[in-house]
Amino acid sequence: MPWVFFYKNNNKDYDIINKLKNSLSKCLTHYYPFAGRLPSPPPASYVDCNDQGIEFLEASIDVPLEEFVLKRDPDETIIKKLVPSVGIESNRLLEVQVNHFSCGGVGVAVSITHKIADGFTKAYLVNHWATVTRGGSPINPTFISYPIRDNNQDGQSHDRMKSPSKDKYTQKRFVFCNSKLGDLKNKINNTAGVTPLNPTRVESLASLLFKCAVNAATTKAGGSFQPSNLTLAVNMRDNVVSTASLNNVVGNVVNLAVAKMATDDIQLNEVITSLRKDRMEMQGGVIKDVDENGEMFLKKKMGLVLDKSRRTYTCTSLCNSPMYKVDFGWGNPLRVILQTSKFNDSSYFILMDTPSGDGIEATVILKEEEMTFFQNDKEFLSFVQD
């Protein structure tokens, strides 16, 4: 999960690297598992907290900072060079790369393995690091885990999960301002019947992206519709973690709400209703603790991957997370970019707040030929910001 935080000219801060290293060292005393290693060979069932530390890299780049701050679709090959790589084969858990631009700007890239941390963990960890850099005090996080299930019990299933996609995927970023998202919400309410759904921005946009992506796939297939699923990642901290400070909980505390559509006449209100029903069942007491949440997540994920009769579109929302509040003493970031090349083997929607907070930036990853139909969908274009 490599994120890059871009900041304006900081030539006045001559001791930037030492400040970042010292404050990160203080944080890692409290976030000690991230300074350890996953035992080799994988899969590992625990973190060896051996204090080997993290990899901290520096780089210089002659591409203008504006290329990443102002351009809606920066070159992904260049973004890839800005980030350290915590890959599947790596046993490191956290890596940092500080990129210096000739204008004096800085791009701080942070990679944390998804094996032990979700996006919420990462957002709060980086914020705590920034707070300590500004002179604040470290916090004491609460670490949680759930039992490892042996996916090798079914060798054939394990191989099918690992098999790479043969399709070529492409990605594009689109911006939806809050006023357009308000129009979308009103449209959904008007078709929901007597009782309006009052969907959130994320529910509204996720259902629209899903509908238009399925329509693009159907058009590409000559009108042949394939039953499709939409999954939306759900933060389960409020439901399964008993601690006073939920923001300090470190781990993978997420699950999946799933909407299953069996016909090509997809209605946005039906997608949202289906997502909510699945979410309410999880959050209404069916899942009682972290262990049970982990087991249900694995069961859902495995079922979706192995069901080849249906196509699954995955949506992850980072909206309302504090990533645009990460201030190392230079002010809030001008932009935050999630480097997404590792997602380019499945249909994916990644939602983030815009830097100003007045909308949502959506990264859409689809099969290359389907993207052509998707980005020309008239319903979709009616809500995209010019």
Gap between the Cα atoms of 118 and 52, Å rounded: 22
What is the residue whose two structure tokens read 């100003």? Answer: 356
| DSSP conformation class of 282 | I
User: Over the Cα atoms of the chain, what is R_g?
Assistant: 21
Gap between the Cα atoms of 19 and 132, Å rounded: 10
Angle at 294 between CA 290 and CA 298, to 5 degrees: 170
Choosing from 48, 183, 291, 327, the catalytic residue is 327
Angle at 21 between CA 17 and CA 24, to 5 degrees: 140
Pairing of strands 2-7, 335-338: antiparallel
Q: Is 30 a catalytic residue?
A: no
Residues 6+ apart with CB under 8 A from 318: 119, 123, 338, 350, 351, 352, 353
In single-letter form, the type of residue at position 8 comes to: K
Residue 343, Cβ neighbours under 10 Å: how many?
Answer: 17
Choosing from 114, 183, 291, 377, the catalytic residue is 114
Task: List residues with catalytic annotation.
Answer: 114, 327
